[in-house]
Amino acid sequence: QSVLTQPPSASGTPGQRVTISCSGSNSNIGSNPVNWYQQLPGTAPRLLIYSDSQRPSGVPDRFSGSKSGTSGSLAIRGLQSEDEAVYYCAAWDDRLNGIWVFGGGTKLTVL
Amino acid sequence: QVQLVQSGAEVKKPGASVKVSCKAPGDTFASYGITWVRQAPGQGLEWMGWIGASSGTTNYAQQVQGRVTITTDTTTNTAFMELRRLTSEDTAIYYCARVAQDSFDYWGQGTLLIVSS
């Protein structure tokens, strides 16, 4: 069971906007930045969003992140077929001298 | 583009140990930490532990505490993850990643470990 809670699946049609939620607690999202990773089939994860809402260079501005309290959210606008992937949220957790925790992942299907 | 290059696939018997390597660009360990994350077949990402920049401070996930050791060799710019007393539940792809700005900004290509008798 993952420390951060994500919906197992999400879907949308090309051009739509979809959001993926990530719920945590005061010891992780409530007091530390949220990061999002994209994992395309058969590949290593890729950093998509860091520090709640920042995009690394090369990540399209169709991807955006936000945080409120102990929950984070990833939004994808103008959905494209190549966005079909599994998305993971992660955050530093202040318990046990500090650990990183992941969400269970959300499989995004582009219909 | 920062590249982390990991060692090749391994097949081990239960009870054995494995040591996976992750070669990084020359300046990495002075300024960045390295973390290890694994992914069992069909499952999500599981954080295993990390080693901090310069100081070499380590911290490990409870699930593998006592069986895992993460080290770096600054002479060869290589990080290592050793996992001992392997069981079938350790079968997974193991990834190293660079730690920057509280996130994992560059990842290795992954190393498949199969534990089977």
pLDDT value of position A97? 82
Q: With CB atoms and an 8 Å threshold, state whether A45 touches B44.
A: no
C-alpha span between B69 and B8 (Å, rounded): 19
pLDDT value of position B88? 97
Question: What is the β-pairing status of strands A9-12 and A18-23?
Answer: unpaired
Which helix (H) or strand (E) covers residue A79, if one does? none
Shortest alpha-carbon distance between residue B48 and chain A (Å): 9
pLDDT value of position B55? 63
> Which one of A4, A47, A88 makes the best mutation probe of the B interface by having the most chain B beta carbons within 10 Å?
A47
Residues of B with CB below 8 A from A32's CB? 102
pLDDT value of position B75? 87
pLDDT tens per residue across span A32-88: 999 999 999 999 999 999 999 999 999 999 999 999 999 999 999 999 999 999 999
A28 touches chain B (CB under 8 A): no
Residue-level pLDDT, tens digit, chain B, 117 residues: 899 999 999 999 999 999 999 999 987 888 899 999 999 999 999 999 999 887 679 999 999 999 999 999 888 899 999 999 999 999 999 999 999 978 999 999 999 999 999
For residues B16 and B22, the answer to whether their CB atoms sit within 8 Å is no
Question: B6: buried, middle or exposed (CB in 10 Å: 19+, 13-18, 0-12)?
Answer: buried
Beta carbons within 8 Å of B61's beta carbon, 6+ residues apart: A99, B46, B47, B48, B49
